[in-house]
Chains A and B, each alone.
Chain A
């Protein structure tokens, strides 16, 4: 049962041919929210590509569609038109279940507002992605501790999120996002709620991880300083990309 599952989900994800360097390809992505009689065009034809191992920053004013973009290309949300390919596979062709499994194995998430389960301790939160992908409990715990150690919170492993500061919580989230050694890490304002010193520490950590493991980072930020430390920076306004610069 588990083996068959492996096949189905991993086979289509393997990169094909010579385009291995492009892990994310987005073309003319359109997303419209409809609630009640109201329609909000959050994405109006966004196209973009991300290379494997790249650190991409997305900036833009509030409400410009950054979170929406992240949700759509990470497979958390559906889109209305356009196409998204992750590692050469068209998202639209994957079933809900396949997308979920892919997320569990190959993606890490840092959300804008809500990240940790209050009922679990830090280390339990970190090991969740391993638990869902069927890792042995003992191994999961070891890797989760290692990951916590990397973000400098090994001593807080047993604490509940409620007992941690905002910055510490964010670091636990990062530990969780990295614990399954994902291909892509999505981060929606990972430093938004933090002071500039802590934000700087976290950025350094991310850069270090990016350098060591060659993971791809897609990061939304309001902080120009942080944006400047990435490989490339795109700006959004009203659901379209208005500028793009490599740094």
Chain B
């Protein structure tokens, strides 16, 4: 990978190395100037074995996650480009007729094979262009006489033996190179995939049928699947492959004498680097080809471009790898954020433990800076260790993810692990730098001890700000420091004029917030807008805290405001600016953090209310449970009443019922099992008494659960859309023919001719054409250049689809039937499929962004269609969007009725037949029967459900992989609870001794620890799940995905699994420390200092 977020990786590495160096220097300078403090810090490490291990685990997570992200990206990039080199070999460039469409098969544009010689003469030299490779590639049906196996469509590739041999020939699967020049006219070098599907070996005799005419060929050897042997099929993992024969034989067998349909260009250099000079070569060749002289040489009227085949493939590999890295990093940010919180907490706890020690040190004259130094030294040693462990763990995690999900589950055999030093350096430095920064900030916080409070061992009271004298020195320093505005401001206002910190932070916060809202419109950024809106209340609260307004009131209000803003299904940006601002993945992160912050604030400042649930002995013992049971019932009832309406709102009500149900169960348990009371008392008292620690832990858990739950819900909603009615487009089986097939156009009579009984089970057939390599499209009256996009003719039967086949239709049409009727009988009306309107969803460079479906309706859009070969064009109006969820390869295009199509593009060649079966026929079996009967004619049949499942399985593979990756974040939460529980046992040793002395049983002590963790985990999980589901719901009801047509659906199984597993793991992690707590020897603990 060369770039990330548009920044060259080398720069990222150098920057991080520099930061790493600065941190390192900082620590070294501590060592040099203050070795006592350094040693004091480092000594702490060795004192506690197990705890140090846990701390390292906590600190390494950020590194683990970045390493895994980079390594996965590198692996994907490396594997795809390696596969690209292997498939393209010496073909760097290719002549093309309509743009970058090399990856789509079936282009049937021919030109003179004499062009090769002419171009060779003109351009081949010793410096740039090494040669031209002409190919004639035709889809044909093949039967292996020996095994009886057949394939309806493999690619027969006619090669110029001399030229191919000059450019490296073909590679035999058993090693070595095939001698292409030695091929006899009736011999074929079969590709590996074709050999596998036909179970063919050298010497087998195959029957090849072209347009019903059989010829026999002998297998001369088995070669790798590459462009020259299996054409575009080489790029498809599951493709049927092909085989190379002499050009003249293929020309003769397929009736294309003197013609070729592919011409690639090899540049000087080796396979992996030659493409770097692609642009130079294109500049040289393309102008000639586009001149009249060039057209004459090629013998075609269609305009030609030269496509940088290999460079594009490499760029695409890089892009794919980048996609993985970016996606992993963005999703990983949740875990990294949680990890940073964990680091912070670990240090606050380490400091709390040594409070008395620190207080003493301060009392006897140690400066705050000294204490910070000692902490930083300790933290740095931890981070260096953790960075190394994290990098190693990240590599392992990434390789397991890749091999489990992509290789084994996904069947992507070409994946080969790749680890680059640069990525490891980046991840390591990033991890260490993040840890170092966090350690420095937390050291600053923990070194601010109140000496008296520390020695007395009481709760810390924040020291009252003293009124200070103006320090002109700091004012003076502050002015030049304004180049780093925050620092300059701080020095000048706080240190110089002695302004209370709240009065610095709050106005700056409010100003930044307001600024960010104002800039948002101009920058078209939803992120800035929401960030600004959220910053304001947070900043105001700082000021309120300064004036000693009740903290509970202040922070509860802030929490309530934030959750109201983030959870309400209202697009405030749209309300204010009149149009929605742009937002993507970064909004996911921001919304997660803000929702979690708001919930956590509300929980920790109002947890007293929650304890009312479990306090027994007050007048009405069952009041709390009764209220909650009623709420649960009410939520359930309204959920059922709402049913499917409200875009999944009913599901949210069920979720609410679940939450109140849990509350009711807890309240009931507390009343029913009074002997839990002592454990409950302690289990709640501790988390309530330390809001900071409790809040951090809840937030951490919540953040991770939020990310997992939201991601899960988004996917589930899309998956449920795919399986919804209309996803199959109203058909059961797809039968594909190719241009060398016989009788593909009339399936029923072909089946009758072959005496196939399946013919009688067919209720209806609809037919469509495929991409011919000639059509280009643009928005009518637009300035854009027309680009390649399939224009498809559909017969009347295809245009009579049942209700529910459209994802949306134009205003002005009564219903779907009216739309189909209009397209069928009217003129210049068209349909498009879903992949045409969604950005990046089809294999072409065209997206119809102007068409926005809202509530199944849209404003019609006009398109201009061109035939590149004849130059004819027509303007059509799009009035419907097909709802089919098949992969875009099968569906992308602008659909016209036959008359309109013929007027511009000539006679349609219906190569796709869509079959609707009667009710008692199984599509899978029907597809099998159809293909069995027609395989020799070159027809291929697949059940639509099967195709949908394949597509779903593939995307599930990726989703699972991403979830597996995010699951790594759960480790953070769990490690956190473990660290906290272990530390609590140490901290509370005396208190445990005391409790045991006055009559707490060991089991009760253990239980109180479990309850404490349980309480925190439950709060975290519930707020994460609830926040995540509401956010996901909003995305589908009014946000980003509102126009996708998908309905919000809660993946109940997954949510329960995530919640249950994290809860169980949290308890498991506390189990051990709680046993330790129970086993504390009483008398000794009471003496413990």
Contacts and interface: CB of A to CB of B under 8 A. Distances in A.
Interface of A: 1-2, 67, 71, 74, 76-77, 96-97, 100-101, 103-105, 109, 111, 113-115, 117-120, 124, 128-129, 131-134, 136-140, 160-163, 176
B677 interface: yes
A2 B675 CA distance: 9
A113 B998 contact: no
Interface string B670-698: 00001101100100011011100000000
B689 A104 contact: no
Nearest to A133: B999
Contact of A77 (B618, B681, B995, B1083): B1083
B903 interface: no
Given A114-B990, A131-B681, A137-B677, A77 B1082 contact: yes
B582 interface: no
A67 to B, nearest CB: 8
B355 to A, nearest CB: 12
Given A118-B457, A132-B1000, 16 more contacts: A71-B1082, A71-B1083, A76-B1086, A97-B1001, A97-B1002, A104-B999, A111-B1086, A113-B990, A114-B991, A117-B994, A131-B678, A131-B681, A134-B677, A136-B616, A137-B615, A137-B617
Contacts of B686: 119
Contacts of A124: 681, 685
B997 A111 contact: yes
B1000 A113 contact: no
A82 to B, nearest CB: 16
Contacts of A162: 456-459
Given A137-B615, A137-B616, A118 B998 contact: no
Contacts of B1000: 100, 104, 132
B1001 A101 contact: yes
A140 B991 CA distance: 21
B814 to A, nearest CB: 68
B1004 interface: yes
A217 B587 CA distance: 67
B685 A119 contact: yes
Contacts of B90: none
Contacts of A137: 615-618, 677
A176 B675 CA distance: 20
B193 interface: no
25 contacts: A2-B675, A71-B1083, A96-B1002, A97-B1001, A97-B1002, A101-B999, A104-B999, A109-B997, A111-B994, A113-B990, A113-B1087, A118-B689, A124-B685, A128-B678, A128-B681, A128-B995, A128-B998, A131-B678, A136-B616, A137-B617, A137-B677, A138-B617, A139-B617, A140-B617, A176-B998
A131 B677 CA distance: 7
Interface residues of B, number: 37
A104 B990 CA distance: 18
B996 interface: yes
Contacts of B998: 103-104, 109, 128-129, 132, 176
Interface of B: 456-459, 615-618, 674-675, 677-678, 681, 685-686, 688-690, 990-991, 993-1002, 1004, 1081-1084, 1086-1087
A100 B996 contact: yes
B980 to A, nearest CB: 15
B685 to A, nearest CB: 5
Main secondary structure of the interface of B (DSSP, over half): helix
A43 B532 CA distance: 70
Given A113-B1086, A131-B678, A136-B617, A118 B458 contact: yes
A114 B994 contact: yes
Contacts of A105: 999
Contacts of A140: 617
B458 A100 contact: no
A8 B996 CA distance: 20
B1086 A114 contact: yes
B722 to A, nearest CB: 52
Contacts of A136: 616-617
Nearest to A119: B689
A115 B1000 CA distance: 14
Contacts of B1004: 132
Nearest to B460: A162
A225 to B, nearest CB: 26
A67 B1001 CA distance: 22
Contacts of B1087: 67, 113
A22 B6 CA distance: 87
B450 to A, nearest CB: 12
Contact of B678 (A71, A77, A132): A132
Contacts of A138: 617-618
The 6 closest A-B pairs by CB, nearest first: A104-B999, A137-B617, A162-B458, A77-B1083, A119-B689, A71-B1083
A152 to B, nearest CB: 22
Nearest to A105: B999
